[in-house]
Amino acid sequence: MSEDRIPEHLELGGAIELVRCADLRAGWSVADVRATYSPERFSLPAGLATLREAWRERNPQERSDPKLAWREFRRDERGRLVCSLQPTAWDEVRPLHESPPSDLAKVLKRLPQGYEMLVPNIGVVHVIVATSDGWILAIRRSDSLHYHPGAWSATYEEGLDPSDLDADGVFHRAARRGLAEELVPGAEQMSLDAFRVVSVIFERPIVNPAAVVIANLPMTQREILKRPPSDELDASSVLAIPLDEKVLGDVVASSVPDLGSRSGKWHPTARYRLLVALAHFFGEEAAAAAERRISSRAGS
């Protein structure tokens, strides 16, 4: 592996990289993503169905809302992201998240240039926001959430919705919708060109895939934060990280957020998102240098 490249299938924090855009500077635009949809429900395989029944017994009052799941994803011969999606439900996925298998071979099947999911999951985007005045935002997640309460996210996460399938750019649309719901009212009118998918990752410990999206917004930090974030994000806790190669590299290399007098932990995929943002804005050599610092600390 060249020293100016980050390793393939990088693992950082709780993120395991599965498929990466060949050009992290550019990322995948709407035109670079091909998504198909099959209406067949994606359910737990027979050998894991008892997990669903046990979960229902423990949570008799919890709703099982419909969800969208990844089935396959790969990079094609032209370098585009190609994927297929299927419907699933909360009670198919939540039991698996609460009792994730330790053997990834039970969850993933390797394909040429990609993977097939063997179990249902919640299709999501993990979005990192960069502002027009040179900041990246990290926001603390609410203590009331199912997943990673109180963790610092870079910047937010959003589940796929059937409405995102109405036109091309399913992951870009989900990222834009999440921006409108979490941070910026009216963001639904923003151009999808502001969003770039850069990779597909696997989030531990909940064995769930996610598309990583960089949102390079035509808005300042002040404009974005002039209204408090949603109930899922803690409005009192926002970190603005300078979009500077050295500073961002230092933040990525730290295993905990630099919060001054505040304590906290990273969302499992936050540091990975920051690392690919480093590559997106400053080149892969800068990201590779930060990754070597992380590897050196882990080995010391």
| 173 neighbors 167 (Cβ within 8 angstroms) | yes
CB 224 within 8 A of CB 183: yes
Per the CB < 8 A criterion, the answer to whether 116 and 71 are in contact is: yes
- CA–CA dist 124, 197 (Å, integer): 12
Q: Which two tokens stand for residue 163?
A: 């409405």
Q: How many CB atoms lie within 10 A of CB 99?
A: 12
pLDDT by position in tens, the chain (length 300): 466 888 888 999 999 999 999 999 999 999 999 999 999 999 999 888 899 999 999 999 988 889 999 999 999 999 999 999 999 999 999 999 988 888 888 899 999 889 999 999 999 999 999 999 999 999 888 888 888 888 899 999 999 988 888 888 999 999 999 999 888 888 888 999 999 999 999 998 898 999 999 999 999 998 887 776 666 666 567 888 999 999 999 999 887 776 554 567 899 999 999 999 999 999 999 999 999 988 876 655
- Which residues have C-beta within 8 Å of that of residue 278, sequence separation ≥ 6? 245, 248, 249, 252, 286, 287, 290
140: tokens are 């603390």
- Measured CA to CA, the distance from residue 172 to residue 275 in angstroms comes to 20
> Which pLDDT does position 229 carry in this prediction?
62
pTM to 2 decimals?
Answer: 0.94
Determine the residue type at 52: R
